[in-house]
A and B are shown apart, each in its own frame.
Chain A
Amino acid sequence: MHELSVCQGLISQVEQIARREDAESVTRILLSVGPLSGVEPQLLADAFPIAAAGTVAEHARLDIESQPIRVKCDTCGAETDASANRLLCGSCGDFRTRLVSGDEMLLMSLELERRERA
């Protein structure tokens, strides 16, 4: 339920980049949001039009890609799939794993429409 806050942070970053690049508008925004990020992609998508209204990203398409939850085991070294509330090693079952992917909350790239140079 904090997705609009997150979206407003996103728009602020996008506006900064658009200014820096002298962009006329932003046509596409690509995010990477993992299941363990704490952010719901659908709520983010719902919040986007509200946060983007009246900004350079108003007409941008928002694409959100997800990453699988993967863990690497400290004990046996295997890298396996896991689920959000079960991050155990899929090979030996040990809980001493570290997350390889799945907690992303990243702005990956933007597509911009450049302002015409005089």
Chain B
Amino acid sequence: MCDTCGCNVTEGNRHLIEGDGRLARTESGREAISVLQGLLSENDHIAAHNREHFDRHQVLALNLMSSPGSGKTRLLEETIAALKDEFRFAVVEGDLETENDAQRIRDKGVPAVQITTGTACHLDAHMVHNALHEIDLDQVDIVFVENVGNLVCPASFDLGQHRNVILLSVTEGDDKPAKYPVMFRAADLMLISKSDLLAVLDDFEPNRAERHLRELANRAPAFRVSARSGDGMQAWFDWLRSEFAALRERVQRGETMRPAIQPDGQLMHSHDDHAHDHAHDHGHGHAHTHHHHAAGHRHD
């Protein structure tokens, strides 16, 4: 459980367990009060703040999630090399212990902030918020947040990103979307990475991986890419260009952009003080947007 994996206390939530909740004891009756709030409303509050921050600087923020070793850093290295004259990048790296990934990015001439999570299994909005203080967003067009390699925990925490990009490498099983539905349901784009290895790994069937994604009612595009050979990278670059343009357009209209699927807390949160955040997302490229939010099954 959490005590063993150690994700319980991070810098961002440490204060939550240091509250002074104790109250004097007296006699009185009981009362039930209705609350109806997302369980992560504090995280979601910071995430909304992060998103405003990105929007103000017209910076596209992408949350990269996958298993460990699926090629996130390699993808970023090649993306930076190919598009460095077109976009100004920055990278927030989540990693358990080392600075290695951040160093690889810096070697490409791009600012990278390492969040060393210790034994924590996910990034939360506080951690990203702290990292943003070290990045001059006026000098950036696209921020990649490379989440901790993990297909479970990161899915529950909104960081303030505009889109979720999920990598599935062909060295894994093509049934990963069926095994980790919460994660893959949240994908705005699925990249089937290391596709140059398909020639030797014939038990991975990309069409099957995509079918499992569709079975999660997910309409996101699925591209096969090889950062090593360059195959398929053009589609990924075009996706970046179109999402960047979409964000600019959205922000100029005073709106923002959100992942198609958001943890429930985000939905609840959007009813309070972050009014402009509530802008509906009807123009989303792949149409699935957050209809189920608009359906308002609980909060009306």
Contacts and interface: CB of A to CB of B under 8 A. Distances in A.
Contacts of A81: none
Interface residues of B, number: 68
A57 B19 CA distance: 12
Given A38-B182, A85-B212, A98-B295, A4 B28 contact: no
Contact of B153 (A1, A111, A114): A1
A15 to B, nearest CB: 4
A100 B182 contact: no
B2 A113 contact: no
Q: Is the interface of A mostly helix, strand, loop or mixed?
A: mixed
A72 B295 contact: yes
A111 B76 CA distance: 49
B214 A95 contact: yes
Given A15-B19, A115-B24, A85 B215 contact: yes
B217 A6 contact: no
A38 B155 contact: yes
B152 A1 contact: yes
B295 A100 contact: yes
B1 A5 contact: no
A50 B17 CA distance: 10
Kindly state the interface size class of chain A when it binds its partner.
35 or more
Given A36-B185, A98-B217, A112-B31, A4 B36 contact: no
Given A47-B1, A57-B21, A110 B33 contact: yes
15 contacts: A1-B7, A2-B2, A3-B1, A5-B8, A6-B39, A9-B40, A13-B35, A13-B39, A17-B35, A25-B25, A47-B2, A85-B178, A95-B218, A98-B288, A106-B268
Given A4-B7, A6-B39, A37-B264, 18 more contacts: A1-B152, A2-B152, A4-B3, A9-B40, A13-B35, A13-B37, A38-B155, A43-B1, A55-B22, A85-B179, A85-B215, A87-B215, A101-B298, A105-B39, A106-B298, A109-B34, A112-B32, A116-B28
Interface of A: 1-6, 8-13, 15, 17-18, 21, 23-25, 27-28, 31, 33-34, 36-39, 43, 46-47, 50-51, 54-57, 71-72, 74, 84-88, 95-101, 103-116
Interface of B: 1-3, 5, 7-10, 13, 16-17, 19, 21-43, 121-122, 124, 152-153, 155-157, 177-179, 181-183, 185, 212, 214-219, 261, 263-265, 268, 288, 291-292, 295, 297-298
